[in-house]
Amino acid sequence: MTTQGYAALTLETLPSRLGEVAAARARLGEPAAWRAREVGDGNLNLVFIVEGPEGAVVVKQALPYVRLVGESWPLPLSRSFFEHEALVRQAARDPGAAPEVFHFDREQALIVMEFLDRHVILRRAMIEGRRIAGLGRRLGLFCARTLFRGSDLSMLAADRKADLALFAGNAALCDITENLVFSDPYRDAPMNRHTPGLDALAARLRGDMAMKRVAQHMKWAFATQAETLLHGDLHTGSVMVSDDDIRVIDPEFATYGPMGFDVGMLVANFLMAFCAQPGHASDPGARDAYADWLLEETAAIWSAFVGEFTRLWRTERAGMLYEARLFEAQGCGLGAEQARLERLAAIWRDALGFCGVEMHRRILGLAHNADFETIADEAARAACEARALEIGRVLALSRDAAPDMAAALETAREIAGRDLL
């Protein structure tokens, strides 16, 4: 990877450098009057909000290393290219779901995009106990539309193969997922950490051969099942919400992978928000109703996904897989419906596995969730996290005889009522 010509933006250089970009001037007005602030609280990149007399934009620029760690952990600038490519595809496949892109500069690894001024990060809203109308349904629709329309169910086979080849270049970001999600949590890796009180549970999971087999099976699936273009990092920190709008951001981990990955990661993060609620309650039980709502919205993710996937299967199945000329056109429409149910069952089975692994890595691995991290009382935090670890384990191991979403949530609710420490 060359970084020749690349220079990280600063608050000082931003107006002069972006002032040359017509798309930025068109949104913001005169560069002399711009005000910029750096707001990046993520792990990897620079993020600026730039406000001018006529409007505001977000400027996201990749750094040639992991921001959280520093230059000792290099990371290719090309992730910005892949993020932009993914944003373009998402905008086409689910219009309105991703932020609008105004400008992309590949050499500077820089995207100028819509500033969502009324929005907050969904994870923050869930910590605050805020309800968002239609949340699970909107995210389920996003998954169904992007995952279906990015697959051989919809695309021309040669186009999908070319796109697969393109995104194979995002290997460094996949490497992060492959190691930090699927492997490190299940061994004593140097960068792991966990809340005091979880030592015994961590050790038990790291000695649980059945769980490790499932985790490695899911890693195999992530690395080899190139079914569709994934968002690749679809947690509640990658969703922004307002009272009447829901957006999905930050697809820099985009890669071809199994449909169940985005779905499972999203469900996992809803379930972790659910498990964290007792830690946010001012009085015991104060968050019970909100926790119930979170489970309802988790169910809504999957029911919306199933509904929209079904609609697209019946109306947009134009790719080379399960062609209508083999089924409906031969009076075998029932076969196409059976095949749809088989595919949905396979996606759900994968999602259960990915869900469990995601719940483990957010508690035992490097990258933790604010849902738990904001619980100041360590004992209370450990109690919440212990339940999430167990829910993850039980759901991941249930794959072979997969329960439906209702049964999975019933199990989560039951485990959430236990004291595991």
Instruction: Give the other-Cβ count within 10 Å of 337's Cβ.
Output: 15
* CB 377 to a second copy: min, Å: 32
Binding to a second copy, residues 206-245 (CB under 8 A) = 206-207, 209-210, 212-213, 216-217, 219-220, 223-227
Is residue 190 a contact residue for a second copy (CB under 8 A)?
no
**Considering beta carbons, is residue 166 or 420 the nearer one to a second copy?**
166
Is residue 401 a contact residue for a second copy (CB under 8 A)?
no
**Considering beta carbons, is residue 51 or 208 the nearer one to a second copy?**
208
* CB 210 to a second copy: min, Å: 8
Is residue 135 a contact residue for a second copy (CB under 8 A)?
no
* CB 306 to a second copy: min, Å: 18
Q: Considering CB under 8 A, how many residues would be counted as binding a second copy?
A: 51
| The pair of three-digit structure tokens given for residue 183, joined into one six-digit string | 């492997």
Question: 199 vs 196, 271, 418, CA distance in Å?
Answer: 7, 22, 18
d(CA 226, CA 280): 39
- For the range 92-95, what are the long-range contacts, defined as Cβ-Cβ under 8 Å and sequence gap of 24 or more? 92/149, 93/145, 93/146, 93/149, 93/150, 94/141, 94/142, 94/145, 94/146, 94/149
Which SS3 state, helix, strand or coil, does residue 354 take? helix
**Considering beta carbons, is residue 31 or 258 the nearer one to a second copy?**
258
Q: Give the DSSP letter string of 92-131.
A: HHSTTSSPPEEEEETTTTEEEEE--TT-EEHHHHHHHT--
Binding a second copy (rule: CB under 8 A), the pick from 11, 191, 334, 407 is: 334
What's the half-sphere exposure (Cβ side, CA atoms, 13 Å) at 301?
Answer: 25
Which residue bears the tokens 């169940």? 260
- What does the per-residue mask of binding to a second copy show for 148-167, with x meaning CB under 8 A? ---xx----xx--xx-xxx-
For the chain, how big is the Rg over CA atoms in Å? 22
Residue 121 contacts by C-beta under 8 Å, 6 or more apart in sequence?
A: 236, 237, 239, 240, 241
| The pair of three-digit structure tokens given for residue 172, joined into one six-digit string | 């460094």
Binding to a second copy, residues 13-72 (CB under 8 A) = none
Q: Give the DSSP letter string of 63-89.
A: -SEETTTEEEEE--THHHHHHHHHHHH
* CB 3 to a second copy: min, Å: 19
**Considering beta carbons, is residue 177 or 269 the nearer one to a second copy?**
177
* CB 420 to a second copy: min, Å: 23
Binding a second copy (rule: CB under 8 A), the pick from 95, 325, 376, 401 is: 325
* CB 172 to a second copy: min, Å: 8
* CB 227 to a second copy: min, Å: 5
**Considering beta carbons, is residue 49 or 164 the nearer one to a second copy?**
164
Candidate segments 58-66, 272-280, 338-346, 404-412, binder of a second copy by CB under 8 A: 338-346
Binding to a second copy, residues 349-388 (CB under 8 A) = none
Is residue 339 a contact residue for a second copy (CB under 8 A)?
yes
d(CA 186, CA 203): 9
Is residue 326 a contact residue for a second copy (CB under 8 A)?
yes
Residue 410 contacts by C-beta under 8 Å, 6 or more apart in sequence?
A: none
Q: Residue numbers of the site for a second copy (CB under 8 A)?
A: 151-152, 157-158, 161-162, 164-166, 168-169, 171-172, 174-175, 178-179, 183, 186-187, 206-207, 209-210, 212-213, 216-217, 219-220, 223-227, 320-323, 325-327, 330-332, 334-335, 338-339, 342-343
